[in-house]
């Protein structure tokens, strides 16, 4: 395996880093409150970064999401790329790709996903019903990608949902509670071979598509966590290098150095497992086990890193308005979204027991 980024991936990452650094400042994030920074989202789309994921693949997206995580930029980039661009590119029909991808590239169409809550929505009488307690960036989305009990994927317009109730999470993700009560949906992909996506009411394609998107989501959000942790650690290193105690910088104390070193190793573990999983995904190899491994590291190690980042700031870490506190909130929210370590280990254990782990 070779994780070396291509020239296209490096160029996209460097462009994303510049845009995020210019627009996702502490002052702008504080002004945005719990909502999305629409100006930043427009800038990312105008630069062609969502559309670049079609060429750079999931590994390219992971690199971009690292840059978002470093500054905790409040845009639906991860959701719309994973549940929108990648899902439509990999599983949509030719007609669906031609119709949906232009809007996803320019940001006028925003897709989020009702993952990872399998079975929360079911197909009844040709319509979709059920509820998902919280969906990230649902209040910004024009569509939501919903897996039914068989793993078949359905695109539902948010305006067709029975209700979208605002939900405030630990992190400012513009989330909402999705309630479907006989909502129409468009199945993602072709079933009958005629090249057209069917409306709700047709047969299912089984769980392959749903499992594929779930693996991509776990990998993508693990990459986002790698960036969140890297940003938290960078702030801690900067703070402890200038904050003095007993006449010398905090960074010269062995206890501080060891805590920061542990956080660095955890961050690198999150990054390398996300890279490996994304590489396997892009190469067409079985990435189920690798995705679970990346998600586990992002969940468990991510918590340790953002706690360490806050702790190394001492009393400043308790200030809710301090930038490092935002990393703490994102790290804990990503831990919850990825499923928490024990749940992921249980699923990974089932794969091992079944002998399906590559």
pLDDT of residue 194: 44
| Helix residue ranges, H only, the chain | 7-23, 26-32, 38-46, 49-71, 77-79, 87-91, 94-106, 208-242, 254-282, 288-312, 323-338, 341-354
**247-269 pLDDT tens trace:** 777 766 778 789 999 999 999 99
So what's the pLDDT on residue 191?
58
Cα angle 309, 310, 313; round to 5: 90
**pLDDT score recorded for residue 124:** 84
In the predicted model, residues of the chain with pLDDT beneath 70 are 116-119, 190-206, 242, 244, 246, 251-252, 356-358
**162, two tokens:** 């029975």
- Dihedral angle sign, alpha carbons of residues 245, 250, 252, 256: positive
* Per-residue pLDDT at 190: 67
pLDDT reported for residue 123:
86
Contacts of 243 (CB under 8 A, 6+ apart): 249, 250, 314
Dist. CA 221–CA 209, nearest whole Å = 18
Strand-pair partners of 244: 249
* Buried-exposed string 32-43: b where 16+ CB fall within 10 A, e elsewhere: beeebbeebbeb
Dihedral (Cα; 66, 347, 351, 214), 10-degree rounding: -50
What's the confidence (pLDDT) of residue 200?
Answer: 47
CA–CA separation, 65 and 73 (whole Å): 10
pTM: 0.92
> How many residues belong to the chain?
358
CA 150/CA 135 separation, integer angstroms: 20
């Amino acid at each position: 395996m070779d994780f070396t980024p291509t020239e296209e991936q490096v160029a996209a990452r460097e462009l994303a880093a510049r845009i995020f650094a210019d627009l996702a400042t502490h002052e702008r994030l504080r002004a945005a409150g719990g909502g999305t920074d629409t100006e930043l989202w427009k800038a990312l789309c105008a630069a062609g970064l969502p559309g670049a994921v079609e060429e750079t693949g999931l590994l390219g997206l992971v690199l971009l999401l690292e840059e978002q995580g470093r500054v905790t930029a409040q845009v639906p980039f991860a959701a719309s790329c994973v549940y929108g661009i990648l899902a439509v590119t990999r599983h949509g029909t030719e007609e669906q790709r031609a119709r949906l991808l232009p809007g996803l590239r320019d940001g006028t169409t925003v897709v989020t996903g009702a993952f990872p809550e399998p079975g929360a929505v079911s197909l009844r009488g040709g319509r979709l019903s059920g509820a998902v307690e919280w969906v990230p960036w649902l209040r910004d989305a024009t569509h939501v990608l919903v897996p039914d009990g068989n793993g078949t994927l359905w695109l539902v317009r948010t305006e067709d949902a029975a209700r979208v109730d605002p939900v405030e999470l630990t992190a400012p993700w513009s989330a909402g509670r999705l309630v479907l009560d006989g909502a129409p949906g468009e199945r993602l992909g072709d079933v009958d071979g005629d090249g057209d996506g069917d409306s709700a009411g047709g047969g299912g394609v089984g769980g392959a598509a749903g499992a594929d998107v779930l693996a991509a989501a776990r990998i993508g959000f693990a990459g986002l966590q790698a960036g969140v942790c890297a940003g938290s650690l960078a702030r801690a290193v900067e703070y402890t290098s200038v904050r003095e105690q007993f006449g010398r910088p905090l960074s010269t104390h062995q206890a501080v150095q060891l805590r920061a070193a542990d956080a660095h190793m955890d961050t690198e573990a999150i990054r390398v497992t996300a890279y490996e999983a994304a590489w396997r995904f892009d190469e067409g190899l079985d990435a189920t086990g690798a995705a679970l491994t990346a998600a586990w590291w992002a969940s468990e190690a991510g918590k340790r890193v953002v706690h360490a980042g806050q702790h190394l700031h001492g009393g400043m870490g308790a200030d809710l308005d301090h930038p490092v506190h935002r990393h703490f909130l994102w790290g804990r929210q990503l831990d919850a979204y990825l499923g928490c370590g024990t749940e992921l280990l249980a699923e990974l254990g089932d794969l091992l027991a079944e002998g399906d782990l590559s």
